[in-house]
Structure 1
Amino acid sequence: MLALPKLKLSELIGRLFMLFVTAVGVWIVATLLWGFSSPRAAPYRLVSESPSAIAERLASRRLMGGTSQAAGGTNERIGDMLLIGLLAADKASQSRAIIRQDGEPLPRVVSVGDTLAGALSVRAIDRDGVELSSGARLALPRPQSLQPTETPVEKD
């Protein structure tokens, strides 16, 4: 049998105190090392702007659009209107389209139900384009780089 030495109460308290100090020291060092080695997550930022305000801000920056036509000769223009951007959402009331009309200095941000030139109104906005009340459809111009090549490229 293993005999344990008898310790005085003061020695026992001293050893327990040293064990406690050592554990706290290890915890502090581990916390510091962990803080330096793992990146902190970016703080969550709640956006309180409406979809319409965001679309207006994007339209004023002139980030999207132009007067290009899609490859293959399809024309996305209907009359003097050109679709230059979309913000499609699950709820139709939150979807927005950015349409440029000839003669206007800035593009116009429209939602479902808004009236455009003449008697046209926006019937639906989805990820592929805008459907108008006349049955016509405005679509985004497709970049030429997304069109398939006519002849396949052979690999050596």
Structure 2
Amino acid sequence: MPGTNVWSVVFTVAAAIIMVLLIAPMVNMWRRYVQNADKAIEKGVEPPSWTGPAVMTIVAIGIYALAITLGWNAMVNTTASTEVKQKNPAAVQEQKKVQESQVPSSEELNKARAEQKETQQVKPHKEALDSFDESMKREAEKIRQRSLNEPASPEKK
């Protein structure tokens, strides 16, 4: 089977074995409980409590979930470490070069940060100056309009 991950097959087989090892005793325990309950009912006695088998079933489910989780983590870690060991050194170097070429140099990053910081600090002042210039131009235009509209007044003595 080319392309099949051996560790996933091992994980699946181990999960199936653990499931069988947990299910078989659970089925047997519940079968005995039902037999004992039937005998007690035939004798007219109160049947045994079902809480024991129920608790054991819940414990078995927890054990199975824990085993599956641990097995999954082991499979993932083993697969990842196996893949790293199997990589071609030339391919690793090439991948490293590609990654380094995609990341900007520290000088470029520092320059960009400095420009961004300067922009953030200067921008409010520049906006304030621009709005001040605009309002001064409006005021100058108003004064000019007033001076054009007013008739020449005699100078006060």
Task: State whether TM-score is above 0.5.
Answer: no
Bigger relative CO (Cα 8 Å, ≥ 6 apart): 2
Larger relative helix fraction: 2
If the TM-score is normalised by the length of the shorter chain, which range does it land in? Answer: under 0.3
Q: Which has the larger radius of gyration?
A: 2
Larger relative strand fraction: 1
